[in-house]
Structure 1
């Protein structure tokens, strides 16, 4: 499965590729270019979801997004290492950068059986 995420306003452009076997993300990779926030978030995303069920990846995305949009406090979100990106929420123009890889992942998972 794969999907591309682009943010034309800043030039971030990512391709997320993953292998899902029996509802589990067996392998995930990304390639592309973007700002440091975009690249760090995508890299941490791959570590956070590899080896976990698709449902776990979807729930983690929801919690991460909720933290960045101010709907959920970081300490309550159970984000693991992703909590280090919680400060991005203070910079509204950068939230899209941190979420780009996650949006691509969700699109890629949208075509999983």
Structure 2
């Protein structure tokens, strides 16, 4: 295993064992549920938004290391962003995971999940939180304002 692979594995395991932004968000005004029946992954995404910005977000759920690490990394990345910015990041992440495009710097540590595109059964695990984020954007009424949503 290469040094980069080891680093990526370490990032995924760290976010799985000690996820960031995990737990309830009492001030959330948007809540969405997502699940991956083929793997058993589940997530509840809770977002505090003014309709344009993601002021805060947290998640709760259970599942494999990939789904939970992806949720943890995603919440770190999009907190404080506008919905348009968050959905642009979602597009870049999905391109990396689904199409195998090289990770872009804007995705930061999410590059650790870049190898998932080689594991078709794990693509849904990695994108679960991002699909929930897109649902939350719809619920917040932000999709019509966001490019490439």
Q: How high is the TM-score relative to the length of structure 1?
A: 0.93
Taking the TM superposition and a 5 Å limit, the aligned residue runs for 1:31-110 are 31-70=60-99, 72-74=101-103, 76=104, 78-110=106-138
Higher strand share: 1
Q: Is residue 31–residue 44 contact of structure 2 (8 Å, CA) maintained in 1? A: yes
Q: How high is the TM-score relative to the length of structure 2?
A: 0.71
Return 5+ residue gaps in structure 1 as ranges: none
Q: Is residue 51–residue 140 contact of structure 2 (8 Å, CA) maintained in 1? A: no
* 66 and 77 in structure 1: CA distance in 2 versus 1, 3 angstrom threshold: farther
Match of 2:106, SS state, is coil
Return 5+ residue gaps in structure 2 as ranges: 1-29, 142-149
Q: Which of structures 1 and 2 has the larger relative contact order (alpha carbons within 8 angstroms, sep 6+)?
A: 1
Greater C-alpha radius of gyration: 2
Q: CA RMSD in A?
A: 1.3
Aligned length: 112
Give the structure 2 partner of residue 19 of structure 1.
Answer: 48
Match of 2:74, SS state, is helix
Q: Is residue 63–residue 77 contact of structure 1 (8 Å, CA) maintained in 2? A: no
Provide runs of 4+ in structure 1 moved above 4 Å. none
Alpha-carbon separation, structure 2, partners of 1:31 and 1:78: 25
